[in-house]
Amino acid sequence: MTSPADRPEPARTGPYVYRVEARADAPVEEVWPLLGEAARWRDWSFLTASGLERTGSPGPDGVGAIRRFTRNGVGSREEVVAWDPPHHLAYRILSGFPVRDYRADVTLEAAGDGTRIEWAGSWSPKWPGTGRVIQAVLARMMQRFADDLARYAGDHRV
């Protein structure tokens, strides 16, 4: 396990940032497929649909994949920009959220017999004056994703 000082900083693309964490009672190898495979997100999150619009490389969910996530028809399109199983996934939002230059890095790290999940993102707001509101919404939403991922992984051990 690396110490916080040894972890690389996520790529920063804008002035607004969030960083959230959760801990799963499951090893990294069991958490990764839930995070790294877009189609599995609807199993563990509040989303009603999730999947690939375009495949990536080296696997279908890899770099270049376009992922579509929705809840009741409203959602986002994202492009995978880093996919390093089973520890790191990064993506940028293409549409569906009022941000520019959004990038998020999700890191999975062994923590004892479980997994530490870190979700960090940065962006610029599309409209002046909305940055702090978007920051609060994104931090809360990503904390929910991290918590739901951790809970599901722990409850559905292989």
Look at residue 125 and tell me if it is in a domain. yes
For 133-148, the pLDDT digits (tens) are 999 999 999 999 999 9
Token pair belonging to 79: 């492009």
Look at residue 17 and tell me if it is in a domain. yes
Buried b / exposed e along 43-80 (16+ C-beta atoms within 10 A): ebbebeebebeeebeeeebbbebbbbbbeeeebbbbbb
pLDDT at 1: 42
For 101-133, the pLDDT digits (tens) are 999 999 999 999 999 999 999 999 999 999 999
| E strands, 55-158, in order | 66-71, 74-84, 88-95, 99-111, 114-125
Look at residue 105 and tell me if it is in a domain. yes
**Single-letter amino acid code for the residue at 94:** L
Look at residue 111 and tell me if it is in a domain. yes
Token pair belonging to 65: 């994949």
Look at residue 2 and tell me if it is in a domain. no
Total domains, the chain:
1
Q: Give the residues across from 108 on adjacent strands.
A: 117
Look at residue 3 and tell me if it is in a domain. no
Look at residue 4 and tell me if it is in a domain. no
Q: Give the residues across from 22 on adjacent strands.
A: 117
pLDDT at 5: 45
Per the structure, the complete domain to which residue 139 belongs is given by 10-155
Look at residue 59 and tell me if it is in a domain. yes
**Which pLDDT band, with edges at 50, 70 and 90, does 10 fall under?**
low
**Which pLDDT band, with edges at 50, 70 and 90, does 73 fall under?**
confident
CATH code of 100's domain: 3.30.530.20
| Contact residues for 14 (Cβ-Cβ < 8 A; gap 6+) | 99, 100, 101, 102, 122, 123, 124
